[in-house]
A and B are shown apart, each in its own frame.
Chain A
Amino acid sequence: MSNLDSFRLETRDWLESNCPESMRKPMKTADDGCWGGRNFKFKSDDQKLWMDRMGEKGWTAPEWPTEYGGGGLSKAQHKILKEEMARIKARSPLESFGIWMIGPALLKFGSEALKQQHLPPIVRGEIRWCQGYSEPNAGSDLAGLQSKGTDMGDHLLANGQKVWTSYGDKADWMFCLLRTDPDAKKQMGISLVLFDMKTPGVKPKPIKLISGSSPFCETFLDDVRVEKDQIVGEINQGWTIAKYLLTHEREMIGGMGLTGAGSKTLGSQAIDSLGTTSGRLNDLFLRTEVAKWEIDAAAFACTAERANDEAKAGQGVGATSAMLKYYGTELNKRRFETLLKVGGSDELIWDGDLSKNDGWMAKTWLRTKGNSIEGGTSEIQLNIIAKNILGLG
């Protein structure tokens, strides 16, 4: 038996005996996700148990080195782990900006001390992170950010306002961009710093969206003390790391155009909702829209697959994340517009007894409008493609 085969068997055994039954059922809503952290209210004991067991094994961050609490798995082993989890329909044990974003940045750019301090609690789901990037006057023009980090000798003093802080009111720590040299050219005077959200002067305030939910905050920074050993990389060199993180974020969001395996296709939802006559959908204009979407979605799914395979084979342009982000989010918006038409007026009931799933469709549809804004607008992605890939100055 090859090493990978025996790894598969061990993994299967371990998952069978450690994944609680209730964690093998699909999540009912996005609220069923486990985010961990000091303030998290677990939905059940099983949810906590599952996170703790996976965290202890390092399998919440399967490819991170074991010395920082990670699973130390190879890519091939990680793939097996995902397959074995999918086999028993195991839920993701932990959703985490720590794992998706700041963790990879720390592994690449952080000092040994920062890695030792921050990575293990991320893996175990003990500390939940949020991102302090955008500001009221620095959205698409992120490098124009003005929140200051004033050098006070042994520490920095942070002042300013951040906005679109995902789950800022629920997070324990923030990774944050500050202007630490006001005289340098705009990209050159920025630093990436880390601080505890309990530090005096940090005030997150939720923003209610058109979808009715409040996943984002504006976060006020008022004389917040940031220790100098919490600067990631060199002072004033934060822009490089910020860009690296933005690429990560784009890749994450770009997956949106892909409908998850097992979820119903747009075509089959249309059949269920509208019915067919002689094999054709009972609304011929809408049929065209559905087919066009499915054709584009199939080509997009192949593009994500090809980008992945080319990266593995060392081919490809390597800057496709902007394209995947642009196309994937636009596709997801189109999908929900078509789903509304497929479902009809029922889908527009906001709440109450007549609503399906508490107005899930109407709320989710509205939420998708942000997909092509957050993580860099579609227009910014097109700028990146034009400049970095097409060489148009």
Chain B
Amino acid sequence: MALVVNEEQQMLKESARGFLAEYAPISEVRAQRDSGSEVGYSPALWAKMADMGWAAILIPEKFGGLAFGHVGMGQIIEETGRTLTASPLLSTAILGVTLINLAGSESQKAELLGKIANGDLTLALAIDEGTHHSPANSKMSAIKQDGEYVLNGTKRYVVDGSSADNLIVVTRTSGKPGDLKGISLFNVNSDTNGINIERTNMVDGHNSSIITFTDVHVDENSLLGEFDRGFRPLSTALDVANVHLACELLGIAQESFDITLKYMKERKQFGTLIGSFQALQHRAASWWSEIELCKSIVLKALQSLDEGDAKSPALASIAKAKLCEIVELSTNEAIQLHGGIGMTDEYDIGFFIKRARPAQMLYGGYSYHADRYALISGY
């Protein structure tokens, strides 16, 4: 397959750009933050996104979806990176949909996917328990008892945890932390007795929560996928999520660069434009080159997800690692090249670094993915 975005995908990207410019310009990020919103995103905007069909992009047609694929979804996510738009796209339309599709029974799919497609159901993945992503080390327990399961434990940094209708909970049902076998997934209504949700205020203002489960009783139908064998679909879903996070980071890296390049052509010191200084030109040129590499690896990883090829896990880790490195460069250079104004809250550039770092760390940053890639490669 040619490594280019085709005409349909390009149209989707442009339509996403137009939509976000109209309904979610960067001023909305500021408004959202200043309002102290509990939800962390705009529910009205999410309803409009669902009307656009964005919640349904990865859902198969027979469950009411568009089946437009990862390259298509990636174009939208990249654009939301440029505008720093918070929404349940990642937690619900990407992670939730992928997990249900991979692990769910036919009846679970029929029940849940259609609702997601219409924007009537949001999900959150309750996975990490510590400060660093480490899915195989999940300790939270689920014990089978009288035809139901009892869940106990604490989950942290749950994206959209305090707003989602349902939680997909990663639990350990056998073995010890670190084992790949013995992980089971549950689909649990957030209102179930024994669940306590506390919003964590993160630097990006997105929705993140600590969720405590105390003797939470759920019925057998809550099990998502095979008992003890949840790691496989989980791992694939995390690859998918990481590739889309890489798309978001690509949008952030590009927009930081574009804004800074524009500034270099306006700002004068020593009686001339700062963009005429070779020391800065070389920094910009090398930065631009790195972003070109990012565009290529992200597109490759997206295509690989659509083709379902065996290289997907390695490519997902390469893409996430590379984007973590370059978005860090981008957001740091953006502030430095703006000088003092880049440090002010009044100027927008500071929002980019604030969203970039949580998105980098979510589901593993550079070190996690470089390590994972090396292990996959046999070293």
Contact = CB atoms under 8 A, between A and B. Distances in A.
A288 B275 contact: no
B294 interface: yes
A291 to B, nearest CB: 4
B293 A309 contact: no
A302 B299 contact: yes
A260 interface: no
Contacts of A281: 374, 379
Interface residues of A, number: 45
B127 to A, nearest CB: 23
B341 interface: no
B371 interface: yes
B339 to A, nearest CB: 17
Interface string B248-287: 0000000000000100110000000101101011101110
A392 B262 CA distance: 10
A312 B1 CA distance: 13
A299 B101 CA distance: 30
Given A281-B379, A389-B288, A327 B374 contact: no
A306 B379 contact: no
Contact of A306 (B3, B265, B370, B374): B3
Interface string A275-312: 01001110000011011101110111011011001101
Contact of A320 (B276, B282, B292, B322): B292
A268 interface: yes
A229 interface: no
Interface stretch (A9-17, A42-50, A379-387): A379-387
B289 interface: yes
A305 to B, nearest CB: 5
B272 to A, nearest CB: 10
A141 to B, nearest CB: 14
Q: Is the interface of A mostly helix, strand, loop or mixed?
A: helix
A30 interface: no
A327 B300 CA distance: 19
Contacts of B4: 306, 309-310, 313, 315
A386 B299 contact: no
B153 to A, nearest CB: 28
Interface string B365-378: 00000110111011
Nearest to B374: A291
A306 B315 CA distance: 16
A176 interface: no
Interface in B294-332: 294-297, 299-300, 315, 318, 321-322
A390 B261 contact: yes
A299 B294 contact: yes
Interface string B226-266: 00000000000000000000000000000000000100110
A299 B296 contact: yes
A295 B3 contact: no
B293 A300 contact: yes
A245 interface: no
Contacts of A267: 374, 377-379
Nearest to A302: B296
A389 B297 CA distance: 21
29 contacts: A265-B377, A267-B377, A276-B379, A280-B375, A291-B370, A291-B371, A291-B373, A292-B370, A296-B322, A298-B318, A299-B293, A302-B293, A302-B296, A302-B297, A302-B299, A305-B300, A306-B3, A306-B295, A309-B3, A312-B2, A313-B4, A382-B282, A382-B286, A383-B282, A385-B288, A386-B285, A389-B288, A392-B275, A392-B280
Given A299-B294, A302-B296, 20 more contacts: A267-B374, A268-B378, A271-B379, A291-B371, A291-B377, A295-B322, A298-B315, A302-B300, A305-B296, A306-B295, A323-B292, A382-B285, A382-B286, A383-B278, A386-B282, A386-B284, A390-B285, A390-B288, A391-B265, A392-B275
* Those 7 A-B pairs whose CB atoms lie nearest each other, nearest first: A386-B281, A302-B296, A385-B285, A299-B297, A299-B293, A303-B296, A382-B285
